[in-house]
Amino acid sequence: MKTNDRFRTVRVPLRNRSYPIYLGTGIHSSLGSMFRRHDLTGTAVIITDTNVAPLYLKSVKQSLAASGITVHSIVIPSGEREKSLHRADSMYSELLRWKIERQSTIVALGGGVVGDLAGFIASTYQRGIHFVQVPTTLLAQVDSSVGGKVGVNHPLGKNMIGTFYQPDFVAADITALRTLPRREIVCGLGEVVKYGIIRDRKFFSYTVQHIDAIIAKDPEILLRIAAECCRMKADIVSRDEREKNLRAILNFGHTVGHALEHAGGYRLLKHGEAILLGMVAETFAALRLGMIAPIDAGRIEDAVLSVPLPSA
Ligand SMILES: NC(=O)c1ccc[n+]([C@@H]2O[C@H](COP(=O)([O-])OP(=O)(O)OC[C@H]3O[C@@H](n4cnc5c(N)ncnc54)[C@H](O)[C@@H]3O)[C@@H](O)[C@H]2O)c1
Ligand SMILES: [Zn+2]
261 lines ligand 1 (CB under 6 A): no
Q: Looking only at Cα atoms, what is the longest distance across the chain?
A: 60
Provide mean pLDDT across the span 77-93.
96
- pTM beyond cutoff 0.85: yes
Residue 219 three-state SS:
helix
**What is the C-alpha separation between 139 and 233, in angstroms, rounded?**
13
Cα(51) to centroid(ligand 1), Å = 11
pLDDT at 312 over 70: no
CA distances for 304 relative to 1, 92, 137, 151, 277, angstroms: 29, 41, 20, 28, 8
Q: Name the residue at shortest CA distance from atom 18 of ligand 1.
A: 111
Provide mean pLDDT across the span 145-158.
93
CA distances for 150 relative to 120, 165, 190, angstroms: 5, 7, 20
Q: What is the pLDDT of residue 309?
A: 83
In this prediction, residue 102 has a pLDDT band, given cuts at 50, 70 and 90, of very high
Cα(176) to centroid(ligand 1), Å = 13
Q: What is the pLDDT of residue 149?
A: 96
For residue 9, what are the β-bridge partners? 2, 22
pLDDT at 4 over 70: no
Q: What is the pLDDT of residue 265?
A: 85
Q: With contact defined as beta carbons under 8 Å apart, do 105 and 43 qualify?
A: yes
- 243 catalytically annotated: yes
Handedness of CA 14, 17, 136, 174 (dihedral sign): positive
Selection from 139, 136, 133, 137 nearest residue 120 by Cα: 133
Mean pLDDT, the chain, integer: 94
pLDDT in tens, 256-290: 999 998 898 888 899 999 999 999 999 999 999 99
Q: What is the pLDDT of residue 110?
A: 98
* Residue 23 or 1, more confident: 23
CA distances for 21 relative to 6, 147, 185, angstroms: 14, 11, 20
Which of the following is catalytic: 6, 154, 159, 251?
251
**What is the C-alpha separation between 145 and 131, in angstroms, rounded?**
11
Provide mean pLDDT across the span 39-50.
96
* Residue 76 or 311, more confident: 76
Q: Name the residue at shortest CA distance from atom 38 of ligand 1.
A: 78
Which of the following is catalytic: 191, 228, 273, 282?
191
State what percent of residues in the chain have pLDDT above 90.
Answer: 88
Q: CA 68 from chain center: how many Å?
A: 28
Atom of ligand 1 nearest to the CA of 51: 37
**What is the C-alpha separation between 264 and 29, in angstroms, rounded?**
39
CA distances for 14 relative to 23, 76, 117, 166, 232, angstroms: 19, 32, 22, 9, 14
Handedness of CA 58, 60, 65, 69 (dihedral sign): negative
**What is the C-alpha separation between 298 and 287, in angstroms, rounded?**
10
In this prediction, residue 238 has a pLDDT band, given cuts at 50, 70 and 90, of very high
Handedness of CA 177, 184, 45, 71 (dihedral sign): negative
Q: Where are the alpha helices (DSSP H) in the chain?
A: 31-37, 58-66, 85-97, 112-124, 138-139, 182-199, 201-209, 211-215, 219-239, 254-263, 271-288, 294-305
pLDDT at 115 over 80: yes
Please state whether beta strands 19-24 and 169-173 pair in parallel, antiparallel, or not at all (unpaired): parallel
In this prediction, residue 305 has a pLDDT band, given cuts at 50, 70 and 90, of confident
In this prediction, residue 2 has a pLDDT band, given cuts at 50, 70 and 90, of low
**What is the C-alpha separation between 116 and 144, in angstroms, rounded?**
8
pLDDT at 5 over 70: no
Burial zone of 122 (CB within 10 Å; 0-12 exposed, 13-18 middle, 19+ buried): buried
Q: What is the pLDDT of residue 282?
A: 97
pLDDT in tens, 154-198: 988 889 999 999 999 999 999 999 999 999 999 999 999 999 999
